[in-house]
């Protein structure tokens, strides 16, 4: 009975993550608002560890020796980065400067900030990885939000993206990831690029 309730609890948690993503309010970027952006500061919240969810309903940290370190070189930021949120932040910054017309210069903070981070001038762009998971049914999953806000609390842009390996034809079993850290590296690399592309295209398609 205890095992049943443990499985049920973990299933409910997964469902909540999916529902929160689907119900989250996205705030489309308005093209004319680009003139309101000044002193754009780019930050990220701390990235949580990767979890694994098995068919038996067990939710644990992903114990893959060296896997996180093995995707360090994927980041366009510091060569020592092995942080999914940091990888996404730097890749977005690089692509935004190249692909988005009139995109302002950015000051990037490499150290993660707290959710309560305060600022009193300029515009803040915050990247937040809500969760990462290797799921027995969905493969690698990640839930990432980006938010652009003014000091007075006005939100200029907000976008959430839920990545599922299965939805991209890239499903792998937990055992495959456990036995091959390079495979996890490649999947995280692909997921990061897919997430950044979603954010970049959302801005580029602004009206």
> Among all chains, which residue has been given the structure tokens 């009193």?
120
Query: Higher confidence at residue 130 or residue 23?
Result: 130
What is the pLDDT confidence band of residue 53, given thresholds at 50, 70 and 90? confident
- What is the tally of structural domains in the chain? 1
Please give the model's pTM, rounded to 2 decimal places: 0.79
Looking at residues 123-143, what average pLDDT do you find? Answer: 91
* Strand 139-149, strand 123-135: pairing: antiparallel
Stronger pLDDT, 100 or 61, i.e. the higher one: 100
Does the pLDDT value for residue 11 go beyond 50?
no
What distances in angstroms separate CA 176 from CA 50, 157, 187, one per listed residue? Answer: 15, 38, 12
CATH number, domain containing residue 143: 3.40.50
* Residue 163 reports pLDDT greater than 90: yes
Region for 82 from its dihedrals, namely left if φ exceeds 0, alpha if ψ lies in -120 to 50, beta otherwise: alpha
Residues of the domain holding 118: 2-204
The Cα 72–Cα 68 span in angstroms is: 7
Which structure tokens are listed for 98? 């190249």
């Amino acid at each position: 009975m205890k095992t049943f309730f443990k499985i049920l609890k973990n299933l409910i948690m997964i469902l909540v993550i999916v529902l929160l993503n689907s119900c989250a309010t996205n705030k489309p970027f308005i093209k004319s608002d680009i003139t309101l952006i000044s002193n754009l500061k780019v930050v990220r919240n701390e990235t949580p560890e990767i979890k694994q969810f098995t068919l038996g309903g067990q939710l644990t940290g992903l114990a893959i020796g060296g896997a996180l370190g093995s995707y360090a070189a994927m980041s366009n930021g510091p060569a020592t980065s092995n942080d999914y949120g940091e990888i996404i932040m730097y890749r977005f910054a690089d692509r935004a400067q190249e692909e988005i017309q009139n995109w302002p210069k950015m000051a990037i903070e490499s150290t993660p900030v707290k959710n309560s981070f305060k600022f009193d001038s300029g515009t803040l762009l915050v990247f937040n990885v809500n969760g990462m998971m290797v799921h027995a049914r969905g493969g690698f999953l990640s839930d990432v939000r980006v938010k652009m806000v003014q000091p007075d609390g006005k939100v200029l842009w907000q976008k959430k993206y839920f990545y599922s390996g299965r939805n991209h034809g890239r499903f792998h079993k937990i055992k495959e990831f456990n036995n091959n850290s390079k495979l996890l590296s490649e999947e995280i690399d692909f997921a990061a690029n897919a997430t950044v592309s979603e954010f970049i295209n959302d801005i580029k398609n602004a009206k």
